[in-house]
Structure 1
C-alpha cells in the first residue's frame, strides 16, 4: 500500500462517472474515473475497465455503454454504484433506459451513449473505445465531481506499488 503514490495519482484531473451497460433486459452500472475523450472525428470516448468486473460481460454482450457524469454533490451515487452488484442498483435511483436499453441517471450532470468500437489490453484493465452516438446536458449549472473528491472510497490506494520499479 502506498498512500503517497495514491496522493500523487489523485492529482491527475479526472471526473467520476457511472457507466451503464445493458444486454437485452439485463442492466448494470459501476462507478469509474478512467474515462476521457480521445477523438473529435469520429467522437470517441475511452473507458478503462477491469475484465474481472461483473459489468464487463454485459459490456461485451451489449457492445455499448453509457457515461453518466456525476455532479460534485453526488458522492452518495458514486458510492452506491461502486458497490458490488449483489442487488439491483437501479431500484433506489432515478434512471431511464434509452432506445438501446442503456441506463441514464436523471440526476446526472450529463450523459453520453457509446457504441463499442474496439478493445485494447491495458495492464490489469481493458481500454474500451466507444463511438459517441448520443448525449445530453442535464444540468449546465452544476460542476462535475472530481476523482480526488472521493478520497479513498474505492480502496485504490492499496493497489499502488510501494516504490517505482
Structure 2
C-alpha cells in the first residue's frame, strides 16, 4: 500500500449526500459519501453509517430516510451536515417531507425516499440496505464528488499507516 492511502481511496468515484432520517417527531441529517445502488428489482440503495451517531438511532427506530444528492457547488452543505458538534444541524435550511415522512433537503439536486430493508455489519460502520419508494430531481446539476471534499471528514488520520 501507499503511504498516502487516503488519496488512493479518494480515487474511488462516489458522490456526497445528505441523509435525512426521522423517527416520529425526531429528525436529523448527516453527510455521507458511501452510498451505492445495490439492486434494480426492487430498486435499493446501501448507505454506510457510523452506529455511534445519533442519526443511526433515528434510522433504526424510524426505519426511513432520504438520500439527498449534493451539487458540485454545495461543499459548505456537506461540511455543515458532517459536523456532529452542531446541536440542530437542520435549522435554517428548507426541508420538504417525503412520502415516508423523512426530510428532503429542498436545495439538493435530487432525492431518494427510502425504507430500510435490513442492516449488515461493516467494520466500524453499519450498512443500511434501503428500498427506494420514491425519487425526484429538484435542481438539475453536476453532483459533488467525494474526491472534491479533500480531508473535510478527517478520514486521512483514520487510514492505517504502512508497517
Q: Does TM, normalized by the shorter one, top 0.5?
A: yes
**Cα shift at 1:3:** 6.4
**Cα offset, 1:63, TM superposition:** 0.5
Equivalence for 1:38: 38
Aligned to 2:12: 12
| Bigger Cα displacement from structure 2, 38-47 vs 99-108 | 99-108
Counterpart CA distance in 1 for 2:32 and 2:55 is 12
Distance in 2, Cα, partners of 1:159 & 1:10: 13
Find the residue that maps to 1:111 and give its secondary structure.
Answer: strand
Runs of 4+ residues deviating >3 angstroms: none
Could you list the runs of 5+ residues in structure 1 that have no partner in the other structure?
none
CA apart distance, 1:64? 1.1
SS, match of residue 5 in structure 2: helix
Is this contact kept in 2: 1:15–1:69, CA < 8 A? Answer: yes
TM-score, normalised to structure 1's length? 0.94
2:64 pairs with 1:51? no
Report the Cα offset of residue 91 of structure 1. Answer: 1.3
Aligned twin of 1:132 = 132
- 8 A Cα contact 1:3 1:157, kept in partner: no
**Which string of whole-angstrom CA distances, capped at 9 and with x for unpartnered residues, describes residues 98-147 of structure 1?**
2432111111010001110010001111111000001101122x100000
Q: Is the 8 A contact 1:30 1:55 kept in 2?
A: yes
Q: For residues 99 and 129 of structure 1, what CA distance do their matches in structure 2 show?
A: 18
TM-score, normalised relative to structure 2: 0.95
1:61 alignment counterpart: 61
Aligned residues: 162
The question of whether the paired residues in 1 share the 8 Å contact of 2:65 and 2:114 is answered with: yes
Could you tell me how far 1:27 is from its partner in structure 2?
A: 0.2
Output the CA distance in 2 between the equivalents of 1:19 and 1:96: 13
Structure 2 regions of 5+ residues with no counterpart? Answer: none
